[in-house]
Structure 1
């Protein structure tokens, strides 16, 4: 198939979250499967510093509101691949210190910036003579593309049968703007209604994409169900329910070339499922020493890596830690940044209990790998989690995940209950209710198995390490979805032609 990815961020050129990882990895896997894939993204200030990006000497004009805005195209290839990536350059919009905001404030012209990006991407298809069957859009920044395809490009030669797939990486980010920004889109005011683009008197770009896209998906099957209900629907549950027939979930993949303890260059010792006990023991001792913790082989290490926020469950974690640092013989290995209240609480606990809490309030790629390898348990008690990646890393590294059963965590971690253990499916421990008590019970179950049930612990670890959550697995699922989207678009086009 011929697929065009359009995304506001792509690894390694610009990244604020998991969206960039998906759009930097999935196209390469699709290309390996024999599909023709190209990628488009804005040419941000930070992007243009990467080697290998060349100008194409192609300029184009697109209408934005009552003015014409000129852009330019640049080109490169995704690293270690043959996948072309095109950059849309417009320095007034994209030559800025950050991608979407500066000093904590969203750019006031974000609607205008990404309306331009969407129009430019569609024009680039014509200019570059790309053969496209499906445009894969990502999050609110690209959500005008499905609308433009249905409204303005439906009868344009070369665009009539292009299908659109919209992937929702996090429904909480919707691209909501005041109603007068509707003028910037260039679309008729008749579309500013509660069925299509209007949301409580404002313009909602994500809602626009949900309404007009030929297919919808999220980054896990459970999250696809959760967002059709309150509160995880974030006010859009009705729209999603109405489009449930074209909504599905596909779990993000892991780039095992980077995340595999058998050849991870960040680790002091390499290991795989055949020698994980000695390998993890060595990595654990090294991690304890690096974090200034007592080197104690039988003291369980609980690892946490990522954003320090309430969404990630840090209200539960800090509540539990305040008691456990005094009462329970475990060590905490923590890496991340986020909300200052959690910075302050964790820093105080690390000062008062240095033998219990190893803390790094920053982000360090190498340290994140070493915490995955050196921990015995990895804790992810999220309020909601569209997909999650650290639990997938943990499985590969033989670090037993303890998770709240939500979103992608529920889809990827099989609880160590009697049935799953008997079927040799168990890969971790999970809990349902968002409470400190239930999280503590799940951790208690894990610690009991660690200390007193070595055969059970070994089975859980090795079952997890043998799991396949590769991008290839995800790519095969996306190919089926692209085919469905394209067929749906063709059928709609044929119906339209029959009416003329």
Structure 2
């Protein structure tokens, strides 16, 4: 049986700040279904819910060396949904109770170099030497580096292969040069030879790409885009050198968690046979909860996302006043992020109190209710490695309107009424006028009940469960393990 260790800085339900948490929480379950002995390793953050921390079993206490430092290493374990999780414990690094919680600290380089080294030191403790370690984003990128530079002479480690998955190329782990020796404990020659060098700093992600045996990212289109200067975040050259080892695999979503037929958060559960009628019941319930006028025939357009520039917020700011002034719609937003965006959307709600609801907190239950109540779901992202929101929206019959980029291009096909194909609406150029036109076009088609039913059925028939994607990961793992 193929043995896999899945290493990540977050995984739902224990830790989730974005798409990585969803992926690391759901992909391993499908990989196990496909016959892989998969285990997951995470940092033991103090912000993990107490109900999970109480279930953890402590299995090891010791120390490891990071550069000149000797640091405490604890290992806890917990089985959840049939998957064994390991938690790397060090309170100096992971007991952070402020608003950051997980990332964004001055010592992040030290925290995650410790985590990477601890992953490898953990293997003899748990008596599990995987065939492959799947690393995710910059936080675990050093595992492949340490594995090749420090453990290659150890027979237990020498056959281990690494797959490095890029979830978002923008976040690379860039730190001052001196940290290579002082924090990572590596010779400065690895800066001089270019493995870590990045404009006189060091770059964790760059090294991860260079040292991994295979590289994946989270959609096929994104895999092509990041090899170009526009999307490549100054790593396009390195990625082009690995193009034969680079594979794009579209993420999936957990069809157990996101199932309108059984979702406990919904007022009215539904499936494809009664979605139009039941979505109206959910709309009325949402309107009551949010204090919007009860209007059964008024479409709800929703936006559920982090409030950051990359999500296309500048386009929304340009068109929403005009849209709300001239169209009979309600706009519902859920998300937190940059203060300037939060303030602007609260201002929009003040200007259109009967048409707009803005919630700037994280509320998973409300998110499910918004998907179920919405007619249209906006994702006008400037770039999008994969995106999960549009796939959840499809599952709930909220028709996505997306910028045709990255994973959005791979998952949303524009509706063609002549042949009845497509599951949503797209616009090709990152332009506010094109976004506004797409929204108006979708509202026009949605006003025709026959067309609306056809598009909704196409959307809800779209299959973005993990089954197909997990098979592609398994093929990569198996190929590497056989070398």
- TM above 0.5, yes or no, is yes
Aligned counterpart, 1:54 = 57
Q: Deviations over 1:272-328 (max 9, x none)?
A: 001112111211222222222222222221111121221111111121112122222
Alignment length (residue pairs): 479
For residues 347 and 48 of structure 1, the distance between their equivalents in structure 2, rounded to whole angstroms, comes to 30
Aligned counterpart, 1:129 = 127
Work out whether 1:66 is the aligned partner of 2:68.
Answer: yes
Aligned counterpart, 1:496 = none
Shift of 1:4: 0.3
Shift of 1:215: 0.7
Work out whether 1:25 is the aligned partner of 2:61.
Answer: no
Q: Deviations over 1:138-163 (max 9, x none)?
A: 11111111112222222211111111
Q: Deviations over 1:221-275 (max 9, x none)?
A: 1111111112321110100111011111112211121211111111111110011
Q: Deviations over 1:102-148 (max 9, x none)?
A: 8xx93222111111111111111123221310001011111111112
For residues 67 and 402 of structure 1, the distance between their equivalents in structure 2, rounded to whole angstroms, comes to 51
Work out whether 1:309 is the aligned partner of 2:308.
Answer: yes
Work out whether 1:479 is the aligned partner of 2:474.
Answer: yes
Aligned counterpart, 2:169 = 171
Aligned counterpart, 2:41 = 40
Moved over 6 A (4+): 99-102
Q: Deviations over 1:437-475 (max 9, x none)?
A: 010111122111111x33332221101101211123322
SS at match of 1:47: coil
Shift of 1:194: 5.8
CA separation of 1:334 and 1:100: change in aligned 2, threshold 3 A: closer
SS at match of 2:45: coil
Shift of 1:48: 7.5
Equivalent of 1:151 in 146, 149, 153: 149
For structure 1, the 5+ residue unaligned runs are 491-500
Q: Which moved more, 1:139-148 or 1:283-292?
A: 283-292
Equivalent of 1:442 in 417, 421, 438: 438
TM-score, normalised relative to structure 2? 0.95
For residues 354 and 100 of structure 1, the distance between their equivalents in structure 2, rounded to whole angstroms, comes to 32
Superposed CA RMSD in Å reads: 1.8
* Alignment check: 8 A CA contact 1:44 1:99 kept: no
CA separation of 1:219 and 1:3: change in aligned 2, threshold 3 A: same
* Alignment check: 8 A CA contact 1:25 1:255 kept: yes
For residues 434 and 127 of structure 1, the distance between their equivalents in structure 2, rounded to whole angstroms, comes to 51
For structure 2, the 5+ residue unaligned runs are none
Shift of 1:167: 0.7
* Alignment check: 8 A CA contact 1:269 1:283 kept: yes
SS at match of 2:192: coil
* Alignment check: 8 A CA contact 2:423 2:462 kept: no
Shift of 1:352: 2.2
For residues 99 and 60 of structure 1, the distance between their equivalents in structure 2, rounded to whole angstroms, comes to 30
TM-score, normalised relative to structure 1? 0.92
Aligned counterpart, 1:454 = 449
5 Å matches for 1:107-122? 107-122=105-120
For residues 115 and 412 of structure 1, the distance between their equivalents in structure 2, rounded to whole angstroms, comes to 35
SS at match of 2:337: coil
Aligned counterpart, 1:76 = 78
* Alignment check: 8 A CA contact 1:165 1:216 kept: yes
Equivalent of 1:431 in 427, 431, 437: 427
Shift of 1:101: 6.2
Equivalent of 2:180 in 161, 167, 182: 182
Q: Which moved more, 1:238-247 or 1:151-160?
A: 151-160
5 Å matches for 1:99-498? 106-183=104-181, 184-193=183-192, 195-417=194-416, 422=419, 424-451=420-447, 453-487=448-482, 490=483
CA separation of 1:157 and 1:391: change in aligned 2, threshold 3 A: same
Q: Which moved more, 1:332-341 or 1:129-138?
A: 332-341
For residues 341 and 326 of structure 1, the distance between their equivalents in structure 2, rounded to whole angstroms, comes to 23
Shift of 1:9: 1.4
Aligned counterpart, 1:94 = 94
For residues 330 and 16 of structure 2, the distance between their equivalents in structure 1, rounded to whole angstroms, comes to 32
